[in-house]
Amino acid sequence: MPVASGSSVDKVTPETLAERIRALSEEFALTLKGNLEEMRSVWASIQTDTSSLASAPNFVRMHEIAHSLAGAGKSLGFPRVSQAAAPLDSLFRLLREKQSPLTEEEVDQINLLITDLELAIDIPGEQVRLDIIHPHVEESPDQNSVFHTLLFADLSENGDAITLLKDVGFETTAVTGGSPPERVSRGEPAVLLSPLASVAEARGWLTQCGLEHDVPVVAVGERGTFHERLDSVRQGAADFLFLPLDREDVFSRLSAIEERLMAPPIRVVIAEDDQTLAEFYKLTLEHAGMEAKIVREPETILNELAGTAADIILMDLYLGSCTGLELAQIVRQFSAYTTVPILFLSTESRITLQLEARHLGADDFLVKPLKPAQLVSAVMSRAQRYRDLKKLTDRDSLTGLLNHTNILRSLDREISSAARTETHVVMAMVDIDHFKKVNDTYGHAVGDQVLLRVTHLIRNRLRRTDLVGRYGGEEFAVVMPNTTLETATAILEELREACAEIDHNTDQGSFKITFSAGAADFPNIETGNELAQAADECLYEAKRTGRNKVVTVQNRASA
C-alpha cells in the first residue's frame, strides 16, 4: 500500500525547469558586468603595489571571481566566459601557490587575460540544453499501488513461471502486445520478463506504449552462458534469468529491481559556495528525479549529512573558508560517511591534484564547467552503485531487508530528524506466529519461502519512505517516519489481514499463516533503544494474549 512518498523533491516539469534555468542564466548575465568591474577595481589597487604577495586578500578576491566565472559560465549558457576566465583562474591559483611578488611579465599577462574576459562578457548567452536528460516527474502512487511482473511472448504461456512468480508474491500478468495493464500505464512500477530472442521486440513494444524509460526488461535464456548474457546486454536487457527459474534467484533479482524502482529519490548534498551554480546543480538533479540540498557554509555540512542520509556528496574544491580536500578529510573522520561517494567539482585540471584528491577520500573528479547530462550521469551512476554496495553489508542475505544493526541505526536517524521537524516516528515489531511449526512440518525451504512472501507483502504495502528490517529469525522491524501511532496501527492491521489471506502452496498441501505485531512511537518515547524495547514488549503482549493481533503502547496502556 505505498502512499505518498513524502519526498521533498519539487515536482518540476520540463517547462518549469526551463523557465527556472533561464532565470538563473539571466541572473548570471546581470552579474557579469559587476564582477568584471570589481575585478578591474581590485586589480588597479594591486598594481599600485606589485610587491605584495599573491596571498593578499584582494588577490584572493580576484581569484574567487575568476574561479566562479570559469566554473559557471558554460553551464549557464556563456561558454566564452568560461573559456576566457579559465586561464585567469589557473594563473591566479599558481601565483597564490608560489607565494611571491608579481613580476612585470605576470602583470602584463593578467592585463591581457582580463581584457579577453571583458570581450567574452559582451557575447550574448546561449540557451542551456536539457532535452537529452530524461525528465523524471514523480507522481504520488495511490494506496493500492503494487509492483507488476509482466511476461512477454512465449513466457506468457509458461505455467511454471507464472506459478513460481505468484508463489513468491509478485503480481504477474501475461502480455502479448496491445496495451499494457491499465495500472502500469498509470505509472505503477513494473518489470517485463521476455525470452532472450524477443528482447528487442519487447523493448519496441514498451516504446510504443511510452514506457521505455520506466519498465526494465529482464531476459530469460536457456542456459545462462556468456554468449546468451552478452546477447541480452546488447539488446538492452537490465538483467538475466535462465530456465528453469530458481525461486530464490528470481525473488532476489526481481526484488532488487522492485526496490530500485520504488526506492526513495537519490539524495545529494551539494557543497558549493557559488549560489547561482549550486542552484543550477540542484535544479538539474531534481529534474532527473533526485533530491538535493545545498551547503554553502562548510561548517554546516555535518548537520546536513546527519539529517539527510546522503547517497553522494558533490563538493567544490575551493570553498572560501576551507578547501574541498580539507572538508573531505573532516567528513571521512565519521564512520557513517566513510563510504559515501564524494565527487569533487573544480576547474582544476592538474592530474597531480586530482590524484591527491582521490588519495584523501574523493571517488572522482569532475572538471567544471559541467554539462547537465554529464552531471546527472556521474551522480546517478555512482550513487546507485553506492546503494547497491550498501546492500551487501547492510542487508539480510535471504530477504534483502536491512539487518538488525542497520534498522536500529535507521531508527536513530529518523528520530533525530523527527526531533528537528517536530514530527512522529513509529517503530513496529512483527513476528510470524508459530513459525517453528512451519519449519518442522514443511521443512526449512518452505519456511524460507514464507519469509520471502511476508517480506514482499510488507515492502509492497508500505510507503517508500518506510524502512523494513529483519530483526532476527521470523521477526521483522518496521520504522515509519512522519507517521502517527493511530495511522501506523491501521496500516499494521491491514497488513495482518492481508497476510492471513495468503495461501502458501507446498507438495504437502497449502496452509495459511498469521503474524503478531507491537508498536510504539516517538516523541511519546524519546530514544531509539527505548522505542525498540517498548515495541518488543507490545509484541510479547500480542503473542501472550492470543497472537494474530496488533498491540501498541496506547491500546496496551488502556487495556
Catalytic sites, residue numbers: 474
Query: Which class for 97: exposed (0-12), middle (13-18), buried (19 or more C-beta within 10 A)?
Result: exposed
| Eight-class DSSP state of 201 | H
Residues 386, 340: Cα–Cα separation, whole Å: 7
Of 406, 395, 418, nearest to 480 by C-alpha is 418
Of 151, 249, 161, nearest to 452 by C-alpha is 249
Query: Which class for 115: exposed (0-12), middle (13-18), buried (19 or more C-beta within 10 A)?
Result: exposed
Query: Which class for 480: exposed (0-12), middle (13-18), buried (19 or more C-beta within 10 A)?
Result: buried
Query: Which class for 7: exposed (0-12), middle (13-18), buried (19 or more C-beta within 10 A)?
Result: middle
- Which three three-digit cell numbers place residue 353? 591534484
CB neighbours of 329 closer than 8 A, spacing ≥ 6? 360, 361
Tally Cβ neighbours within 10 Å of residue 527: 12
φ and ψ at residue 240, rounded to 5 degrees: -140, 135
- Which three three-digit cell numbers place residue 187? 505509472
* Angle formed at CA 381 by CA 375 and CA 382, multiple of 5 degrees: 90
Query: Which class for 518: exposed (0-12), middle (13-18), buried (19 or more C-beta within 10 A)?
Result: buried
Query: Residue 158 to residues 163, 216, 236, 469: CA-CA distances in angstroms?
Result: 9, 20, 23, 33
Residues 230, 399: Cα–Cα separation, whole Å: 29
Contact 42, 58 (CB under 8 A): yes
